[in-house]
Amino acid sequence: MRAPYLLLLLLLAPHLTFVLPWKKDEFRNCNQTPFCKRARAFKPGSCSLVAHDVSINDGDLTAKLLPRNQDPDHPSKPLLLALSVYQDGVVRLRIDEDPSLGPPKKRFQLPDVIVDEFLSKKLWLQRISTETIGSDLRPSSIVYLSDDYEAVLRQDPFEVFVREKSGKRVLSLNSHGLFDFEQLRVKNEGEDWEEKFRGHTDTRPYGPQSISFDVSFYDADFVYGIPEHATSLALKPTRGPDVEESEPYRLFNLDVFEYLNDSPFGLYGSIPFMISHGKLRGTSGFFWLNAAEMQIDVLGSGWDAESGISLPSSQSSIDTFWMSEAGIVDTFFFVGPGPKDVVRQYTSVTGTSAMPQLFATAYHQCRWNYRDEEDVAHVDSKFDEHDIPYDVLWLDIDHTDGKRYMTWDRALFPNPEEMQKKLAAKGRRMVTVVDPHVKREDSFTLHKEASKNGYYVKDAAGNDYDGWCWPGSSSYLDALSPEVRSWWGEKFSFQNYVGSTPSLYIWNDMNEPSVFSGPEGTMPRNALHHGGVEHRELHNAYGYYFHMATAEGLVKRGDGNDRPFVLSRAAFAGTQKYGTVWTGDSSADWDFLRVSVPMVLTLGLTGVSFSGADVGGFFGNPETELLVRWFQLGAFYPFFRGHAHHDTKRREPWLFGERNTELMRDAIRVRYMLLPYFYTLFREANTSGIPVIRPLWMEFPSDEVTFKNDEAFMVGSALLVQGIYTKEAKKVSVYFPGKQSWYDFRTGTIYKGGVTHQIEVFEESIPTFQKAGTIIPRKDRFRRSSTQMVNDPYTLVVALNSSQAAEGELYIDDGKSFEFKQGAFIHRRFVFSDGKLTSLNVGPIASSSTKFSSNCFIERIILLGHSGAKSALVEPENRKVDIELGPLHFLKGRRTSVLTIRKPNLLIRDDWTVKIV
């Protein structure tokens, strides 16, 4: 939530909370951003660098890059290149200045993003082979990547690419000669390095230091990724013939009030990771570890038609152009070849998703703001009165004492511990907002300590940076510093955060960082961080470090026994290691419901699996039908939270009439029913990086019809969800990928795969289908919260394919601690084949000291697509149970009877077989 206050009004009345509409001219475009404007003017082939002194050092392929034609009177300083190879098909390319030649400063390299486990997977290169490509005057250097791939350094012209052993290219850098690296230098007399924008001056003490290059993805049909933008899943070309004039995709974390739809404009997060996909080649990926502002063009076909460059490849490609204000070249090539392979390779570098607590995967209720303890109690009781489950109630900034975070307005919240304990008694939690700006007030202990210890970001003159945010005059914690992060983490102890309890968790908002008085509503680029790092160099990772510090603080608070829950608005590569993200200040509009799907899918593709959008939209008052449809769709977001601006009308589910209350209750109950399935998917994301919700093409990578589809998505590999994005819809076209059939989630109706069906739309739900050949675990008893469901029995929904086979998984642990890392969990695989359903252990055999156990049993096994049977035999005890017709689910609306094995009473932890007889 952002209020771009006029400075005068800030000075006069900092307590006001009105907002002004988003204005395009408040933010820089490419022409107003000198590094972007310069880079976009480059022509193909403008790079004249040649690789010299190619050798192997410390297991890397190394070289020096120098211009082809050196000026003997003004020789250029070489750039140092290092190419490293890692297990599982990952190539890392680094290019930096030579520190031995005395540059004015060391260029910033991001710490704490790459995980240690990845660094241990380096393959130490032993030799280089050579090959002359085309008419090159110098041989290219080739190194082993895997049995199927190799990496190539082309010396003249300079180029790096990865290819299959057959010679087919996968992806490349500088194939079009657009590489440019502005080295740091001393300012010449009379030279002006300052940049101005809307009354703000950036002194730029180290001058131009931008980097740009082209990256090509071969045999690709589309490219995806580089969030965060409110736009389509498949990225649209931004330059080229017949391409509508467009800005590049901007990666610059900004607090954008009521952002525009269908725009390449940058939002709250920046993840410089792009994925390509195509039917011919498969999937590949490219990641640039750089937190400075970045602009990326997707180049339309024929963009280089007049360049005259003859490339040594007849393969088609999607070409992209990457531009950054600062940093170094620290890039990663991922060869795939499948979508899940690329995501797994990328998250092996930046980390997989943290395993959330079970409660966090359920429904959250939020508003700016619940007024006081009486309001909290009223909302909580109304959920119970209307039999609507929820797990978390949130408090926004107005719960604090004058916007001093980690405090309480004691007039409104006199007994915060008791308030939290009353929620906890029902298995519920509370989340409070804690932002990175600290009120500059001498009586505020947090400010006194931070100021005394030098823990704030500094301005260009070396003084504590003073900007305006919610409290008025504020300073910002320098979370790049490990010392500051450790200190900040201690502030979440129950002794320091007075009024907090073990059931209280945290929300980091405004951490782009948002500065109402700053350029573009953020911190000046020449502000200084730990180690003399300029803010321009780490801007996009500021929120990442603050998120890290908060999450680690909650772990410390619980003595390492309690998984943290921290929601962050800002995001960067690796954010998934620390918590959850949402898509920010959307509007209560059908188009924002629609765009929420590609936004959440894109975050998942780039590692941040645990994400969602504000159900109902943050700004405005949704019409009732839109709100209902948003609940029905939001029930399938990984992060499921209702939230609204304080100027909107209250919109809790019971305020819209009995029928609409019933519809929203039903939508929330669907999520609770599917919690075992979702929790299992979160574990998959935790171990492999594969997202909870996925584009259709991730599950059906050779089906071209799916490549641009971002109105439907997969939840795991078993559920297809089609949103409803128009008012009063009667029918919707649903494409069912694959050759197998699909079963309607509500009715069990069968639809043939590989074709598009016109599906009748009902108010009770959005179209949802289970793929034939899958098994979904459910819990069908409705409770107040997920905590109260822990000991409830399970239902297995077995959707048989044409071979009368199916399989699925179930993961269970204690839902809260880190003991699962020592093997304290149950992980079962269910397989139906040859008329038998078998439960198999796929988890480790835990020692007696760490073993997690459960007495939960299976109370129903539903058989979809079975030709008919009357009884089943439970083995090994040779017990007979009846098969009869029973309800597919216990939700309101259309009811369907299906074959059901009732009360087989099988313990979820055991091996067993149920044989249909």
Residue partners of 111: CB distance under 8 A and separation at least 6: none
Query: Could you tell me whether strands 571-572 and 269-270 are parallel, antiparallel, or unpaired per DSSP bridges?
Result: parallel
Q: Residue 78 is encoded by which pair of tokens?
A: 């070489």
Give the HSE-up count for residue 176: Cα atoms under 13 Å, Cβ half-sphere.
24
Phi and psi (nearest 5°) for 798? -100, 110
- Give the DSSP letter of residue 588: S
Q: Which helix (H) or strand (E) holds 581?
A: strand 580-582
Question: The tokens 């390509």 sit on which residue?
Answer: 276
Interatomic CA distance for residues 221 and 72, integer angstroms: 46
Where does 375-440 show beta strands of DSSP type E? 392-395, 429-433, 437-439
CA triplet 570, 319, 231: central angle to 5 degrees?
40
Phi, psi of 34, deg, nearest 5: -55, -40
How far apart CA 329 and CA 645 sit, in angstroms, is 41
Please state, in angstroms and rounded to a whole number, the distance separating the CA atoms of residues 131 and 133.
6
In whole angstroms, give the CA distance from residue 856 to residue 290.
47
Q: 628-646 burial, b if ≥16 CB within 10 A, otherwise e? A: bbbbbbbbbbbbbbbbbbe
Residue 36, H or E segment: helix 34-40
- DSSP secondary structure, 679-726, as one string: HHHHHHHHHH---SEE-HHHHSTT-GGGTT--SEEEETTTEEEE---S
Sole residue written with tokens 């498949």: 234
Q: Please give the span between the terminal C-alpha atoms of the chain, in angstroms, as a whole number.
A: 60
Question: Cα(499)–Cα(421) distance, rounded to whole angstroms?
Answer: 11
Catalytic site residue from 255, 293, 435, 585: 585
Neighbours of 536 (CB within 10 A): 22
- The tokens for 909 are 């932890």
- Rounded-to-integer distance, Cα 830 and Cα 775, Å: 7
Active-site annotation holder among 180, 293, 373, 509? 509
**What are the structure tokens assigned to 370, written together?**
């619940």
Tell me the one-letter amino acid at 880. K
Rounded Cα gap, residues 464 and 421, in angstroms = 39
- How much is the CA Rg of the chain, to the nearest whole Å? 28
Nearest Cα neighbor of 79 from 57, 101, 64, 92 is 64
Indicate which residue of 330, 512, 625, 807 is catalytic.
Answer: 512
- Whether residue 494 contacts residue 37, with contact meaning beta carbons closer than 8 Å, is answered with no
Contacts of 746 by beta carbon, 8 Å cutoff, 6+ apart: 764, 765, 768, 888, 889, 891, 893, 894, 896
316 close to 741: Cβ distance less than 8 angstroms: no
Q: Looking at the chain, how many residues does it have?
A: 917
Instruction: Give yes or no: 509 in active site.
Output: yes
Q: Is 512 a catalytic residue?
A: yes
Give helix then strand counts, H and E, for the chain: 15, 55
Active site residue 255: no
* Alpha carbon of residue 304 to chain centroid: 33
| Sign of the torsion formed by the C-alpha atoms of 808, 813, 815 and 821 | negative
Task: Give the separation between CA 642 and CA 802, rounded to whole angstroms.
Answer: 40
**Are residues 79 and 95 in contact, defined by beta-carbon separation less than 8 angstroms?**
yes
| 747, 888 Cβ separation under 8 angstroms | yes
Which residues on neighbouring strands pair with residue 173, listed in sequence order? 160, 215
Interatomic CA distance for residues 461 and 468, integer angstroms:
18
User: Any idea which residues carry the catalytic annotation?
Assistant: 509, 512, 585
